[in-house]
Structure 1
C-alpha cells in the first residue's frame, strides 16, 4: 500500500519511525481516550448524583418522597434509551468520517447539555434568582430533554474512545491500551463525588428546597463541565485518526460497489455478537449504576447516612474501582477476556443476594463494604470490556457494532434495574432487588459462555498492514 492510496490529508505509516516516537504516540492516544471519557462520564455521573440527592426535591416537589425518587430515576433512565440512538448515529459517522471527528462532536454535545442542566430553574424555585417562582411542569420537561442529549452523546462516546486505543494497540497489548478509556469512568466517579462533596460542605448539607445547596450548590459541578470540555477538545483535536480507519478508507476507495450503511451491515452480519455482548455486559451495568447512583440515594434517604459520608465513600470507592479495572484489563491479555469477565459475573450472581441484607443493618461500615465490593466486581468485568467489543467486529462497521452491543447492555442493566429497584424499595421489598440483580447476572453468565474468546482476533482492516507499521504511525 502506498501513500497515493490514502485519503487526502493522511500520510502513509512509516516503518522506520524511532522507538521514542512510538511510545509518545501511544501515550497521547491513551491520554486522549482517558481524558475524553473522564469528562463525558463526569457529566453523566453528576446527573446521577443529583438525581439521587437533589432532583426529587427540586423538580418533583408535589410528590411523596418515594414517588419523587422514582420520577427522578425515570429521568436518569431516559439517557439509556437515548444511547442506542446515539450509538447508531455516531457509529455511522465514526465508521464513515473517522473516530476522531466523531469523538469531538460527542464531547461538545455532552458539554452543552450538562451546562444547560446547571442553569435550569426548578419546579417552584428559580436558578440564581431568575424565575423566582419556578417554571412548573416545564422544569422536569427540560430536564428530560437535556438528559436525552446526554445519553445521545454518551452512546457515541464509549465505542469511539475504545476504538481509538484498540486500533493503535501493539500486538498482545489491547487489554492494556483498552484500560485507559475504562479508567476514565473511575476518574469521573471520583470527580463527580468530590465536587458534590466540596460544594455540599461549602453550601451546607441542608435537604430543604431553600437551602444554599439546593438553590445553587448542586449547580456548580454542572457549570464547571464547560471548562473540562474545552480541555478535552484541545486534547482530542491533537490526536490523528487511527491507522486502521485510514486503511479501511483507502480500501473503500478502491471498491467498485458502494458500501451499505454501517448500521445495516452490523445488524445483518454480526447481530449475534451484538446480542451476546449486550447480554454479557448487562451484569456489570446493573452493578455499577446500582452501586453508584442508586446506593447514593438509598444510603442518604433510607439509611439516613450523612451526605458528606456517602460522597466521601464514593471517592474512595472510585480509587478501588480504578485499581480493579487496571488489574483485570492487563490480566485479560494473558488469560483472555472471556475468563476474566466470567469471573466477575460468577461473583455477581452470589454477591447481589447479600447486598441489601448487609446494607439494612444500618451500619456505615456495612454501606462502605457493599459499595467497595460491588464496584470491585464491576471493575473486574469492565477492564477487559474496552478491548473485547472492538475485537468482536469488522473494521468497516466496528464503531457501530461496538456501540450497539455496549448500549444494549446499558438499557438492560443500567436503565431498567434502578427503576425496578426504586419501586421495590418503595414497597419494602429489598430482597426482590437482590434477586433481580442475581438473575441478570445469571443471564450474563449464559452469554459469556456463548461468547468466543476474542483476545487473539486480528482487528486490522487489511493483512497488508503489519503490526510494526501500526505502531510506527506518528501522532502529532
Structure 2
C-alpha cells in the first residue's frame, strides 16, 4: 500500500462515506422523481396533444435525453475533477442538479404555454444529465481513493447506495403526495411538490460535502507531477482497451434498474391495471432490495474479487430477462412485486463492486474522466434505450420479445466483463500499465 492510499482514519472514512452517499441520495432523488413523473403524469401535463401511447413514448424520450447528456457531463466534470479536484466538482454538480430539478417543479404546462413547456423541460433534463454525469464518479472516487485496499469494495459502494435511497425517497414522496390528495389535484399541482422539495435536500447535501477534504491519492498525484492538461484525451491514448470494455460492464445493471424504476411503473399501472399506490409501494420495496444487494455485492467482492461478482450477476440476469415478462403478465400485485424485486436484486448485486472496480482500472491523472465516461456510456446503452423502445416492442410483439432484447444487453455486459482483468489487489496510484496487467 502506498503512503497516500488507505491512510485515512476510520472515523474520517465514515464521514467521507456519508458525504458520498448523501450527495448521491439527493442527486438521484432529483433524477428519479423525474422518472416517476414521466411514467405517471408527464404524458398528460406536457404531451396531451399526442394521445396516451405517443405521449408516453415522448415522456420517456424526455427521460432518455438525460442519459445522452450524461457522457458529455462526465467529460466536462471529469476534466475539472481531474484538474481541480474531486470535492470542488462535486459541489458544482450538486448545485446544478438541484436548481434544474426545482425549476421543473415550477414549469408551466403545455396547456398554459404550448410547445415551449416540453422544450423547457428537455433543457432542464439536459442539465440534470450533465450534472449526474459527474456526480456518481466524484462521489465514488472520494471513497475509493481514501479507503484501505482490503475494504475498498465496501467503502466505495456508498455512492451507489445513495442511488437506492434516493429512489426510495422519490417513490415515497410521490406515494404520500398522491395519497393525500385527489387524482385531479395530484395531476394539477401535487406532482410538483417532490421537485420543489429538492431545495431542502440540496442545502443538506452542501453542508455535508463542504465538511470533507480532498482525497489523499489526488493530493499525492498533484504533489508528484501535477495534473493532466487534457485528462480525457490522455485516457483514450493510454488505456483505450479498458475504456471500450468498461463501457459495457454496466449495461445490464442500468437496463434492469431503470426498467424497474421507470418503465415497470408505467407497465404496472397502464398494462397490468394495478393501482398507483400499489405500484409505488412495490417500487419502494424494490428500491430497498436494490440497496441490500449493493451492500452484499460490494462486501463479498472484497473477499472473492470484483469481476466474479459482476460476472455472476450478469449470468443470472441473462436467464431472468427471458422469464421476467411472462411472470409479470400474470397481472397480480404479488407477481409484479416478485418481478420488480428480483430484477433490482440482480442489478444491485452486480452493481455493488463497480464503485471499486471502475476506479481501480484507471490512473489517478485521468481517473475521474475515464471512470465517468465509461459509467455514463453504459447509462446511455442500458438506461436510455430500453425504456424508450420497451413500449413499442411489448405492444407489437409482447413482453417475451422485450425479454430477448434485455438478454442481448446482458450478453454485452457479460462479454465486456470477461474481457477485463480482476482489480481487487490494485493500488489506486500505480502506473497505467500495471493497472491494465494486474
The 5-angstrom pairing of residues 428-467 of structure 1 reads 428-460=397-429
Question: 1:275 deviation in Å?
Answer: 1.6
2:26 alignment partner, one of 6, 25, 39:
39
Q: Distance in 2 between matches of 1:364 and 1:393?
A: 44
Aligned to 1:137: 115
- Partner residue of 1:239? 212
Structure 1 CA distance, aligned partners of 2:4 and 2:261?
A: 43
Q: 1 CA distance for matches of 2:366 and 2:391? A: 37
The aligned counterpart of 1:381 is: 350
Task: Give the helix-richer structure, 1 or 2.
Answer: 2
Structure 1 residues 97 and 461: CA distance shift in structure 2, 3 A: farther
Q: Is the 8 A contact 2:5 2:147 kept in 1?
A: no
* Contact preservation (8 Å) 2:306, 2:353: yes
Asked if residue 26 in structure 1 is aligned to residue 4 in structure 2, the reply is no
1:247–1:461 CA contact under 8 A, matched in 2: no
CA drift at 1:461: 5.7
Quote how far apart the aligned CAs of 1:450 are.
0.7
User: 2:116 matched to 1:147?
Assistant: no
CA contact (8 A) 1:273 1:405 kept: no
Q: Deviation string for 1:306-360 (max 9, x for gaps)?
A: 0011111111112211111101100000000100000110011110111111111
C-alpha distance in structure 2 between counterparts of 1:393 and 1:428, whole Å: 42
Deviations 1:431-468 (CA, angstroms, capped at 9, x unpaired)? 22100000110111111111100111111268xxxxxx
Of the three residues 324, 327, 332, the one matched with 1:363 is: 332
Q: Given the alignment of the two structures, is residue 222 of structure 1 paired with residue 209 of structure 2, yes or no? A: no
Equivalent residue, structure 1, for 2:161: 183
Secondary structure of the corresponding residue to residue 305 of structure 1: coil
Match in the other structure for 1:471: none
Q: Does 1:199 align with 2:199?
A: no
Partner of residue 143, structure 2: 165
Q: Distance in 2 between matches of 1:13 and 1:101?
A: 20
C-alpha separation between the residues in 2 aligned to 1:195 and 1:260? 43
The CA deviation at 1:14 is: 13
Residue 425 of structure 1 and its aligned partner are, at CA, apart by 2.5
Q: Structure 2 CA distance, aligned partners of 1:115 and 1:236?
A: 20
C-alpha spacing 1:259/1:372, structure 2 compared with 1 (3 Å): closer
Shift of 1:58: 0.7
Indicate the residue corresponding to 2:61 in structure 1: 74
Q: Flag structure 2 segments of 5+ consecutive residues without an equivalent.
A: 432-438
TM score, norm. by length of structure 1? 0.88
Q: Which of 278, 286, 297 is the matching residue for 1:328?
A: 297
What is the Cα deviation at residue 146 of structure 1? 0.5
What SS does the corresponding residue of 1:203 show, helix, strand or coil? coil
2:272–2:329 contact (8 Å) kept in structure 1: yes
Give the number of equivalent residue pairs.
Answer: 429
8 Å contact kept, 1:328–1:384: yes
Q: Is the 8 A contact 1:248 1:461 kept in 2?
A: no
Equivalent residue number for residue 318 of structure 1: 287
CA displacement at 1:429 relative to structure 2:
2.7
> Is 1:276 aligned with 2:249?
no
Instruction: State the TM-score, normalized to the length of structure 2.
Output: 0.96
Evaluate the alpha carbon distance shift between residue 260 and residue 367 of structure 1 in structure 2; reply closer, same or farther with a 3 A threshold: same
- Deviation at 1:260? 3.7
Q: 2: CA distance between counterparts of 1:461 and 1:156? A: 23
Q: Distance in 1 between matches of 2:268 and 2:195?
A: 23
Q: Distance in 2 between matches of 1:388 and 1:295?
A: 29
Which stretch has the larger CA shift, 144-153 or 56-65?
A: 56-65
> What residue ranges of structure 1 are gaps of 5+ in the alignment?
1-11, 125-133, 463-476
Alignment partner of 1:460: what SS? coil
- The 3-state SS of whatever aligns with 1:353 is helix
Larger-gyration structure (1/2)? 1
The residue that corresponds to 2:374 in the other structure is 405
What CA RMSD, in Å, does the superposition of the two structures yield over aligned residues? 1.6
Partner of 1:101: 88
Runs of 4 or more off by more than 3 Å in structure 1? 12-15
Q: Could you tell me how far 1:428 is from its partner in structure 2?
A: 4.7
- Cα deviation, residue 188, structure 1: 0.6
In the TM superposition, what whole-angstrom CA distance separates every residue of 1:367-416 from its partner, at most 9, and x where no partner exists?
00000000000011111011111100000000000001100100110111
How many angstroms apart in 2 are the aligned matches of 1:48 and 1:177? Answer: 28
